[in-house]
Amino acid sequence: MQQLKVVIADDHPIVLVGVREMVMRDQRFAVVAEAVSPSQLVEQLQTHRPDVLITDYNMPGDAVYGDGLKLIQYVLRHFPDTQVLVLTMVSNSLILSRLDELGVAGVIQKNHLHEEIQKALSALSDRRSYRSPQAPASSVVGSTQQVDERFASLSPKELEVLRLFVTGLSVSDIARHLSRSIKTVSAQKVAAMRKLEVDSDQALLTYCIRAEQFE
């Protein structure tokens, strides 16, 4: 039986070694390359065209590929024959739902990696998606009305900051663009996050995407 080629990507060496050892125990798979950054990951995908990619969700981003949703979208678009298994510490159901919508083969919470990796590999070897039993049952976006109410609570200046944030600008970039201090822009962004009930930049971005804001 021909082994399935696997590329592993994670910026934490200990995780990288651990995942490699677990994959190598399964005779159906062969680890052909590893990566510690988005650019290195894309380079290895271009070189090896693997059957499976096991990648961390959050790696230090770069100007070309970014990380998180941006990186996953790029990989799925440019390497459609590669099954993507995402490893993450993110539990925000908006992001997990979005990953599912994008078409990843599966998502594993890192704190359940040892219990789930073999089940996931078995599914991927059969070209099936893997659905973790640890996945949240529902999204924090309860209804369209709830989304509208949350965005209606934002001030015009907070909306302005979010509109630029969604385009990919950093807080310092937004401050320069709006001629405000970095401290002011940061405070407005934090206030918007509190009103929308999200706790990270990726969750904020995903919430805006799912809520179809600023398109």
Q: Which of 119, 82, 84, 111 is nearest to 99 (CA)?
A: 84
- Pull the structure tokens for residue 121: 């590999």
d(CA 124, CA 120): 6
d(CA 1, CA 111): 32
Is this prediction's pTM over 0.95?
Answer: no
| pLDDT (tens digit per residue) in 135-182 | 554 444 445 566 677 888 899 999 999 988 887 788 999 999 999 999
| pLDDT (tens digit per residue) in 13-71 | 899 999 999 999 999 999 999 999 999 999 999 999 999 999 998 887 677 887 788 89
The Cβ of residue 142 has, within 10 Å, a number of other Cβ atoms equal to 9
d(CA 173, CA 149): 28
Q: Which domains does the chain have, with CATH numbers?
A: 4-125 (3.40.50.2300), 144-210 (1.10.10.10)
- Mean pLDDT in residue range 109-137: 87
Average pLDDT, the chain: 87
| pLDDT (tens digit per residue) in 152-163 | 889 999 999 998
Distance spanning both ends of the chain, measured CA to CA: 47
d(CA 152, CA 147): 9
Q: What is the pLDDT at residue 115?
A: 92
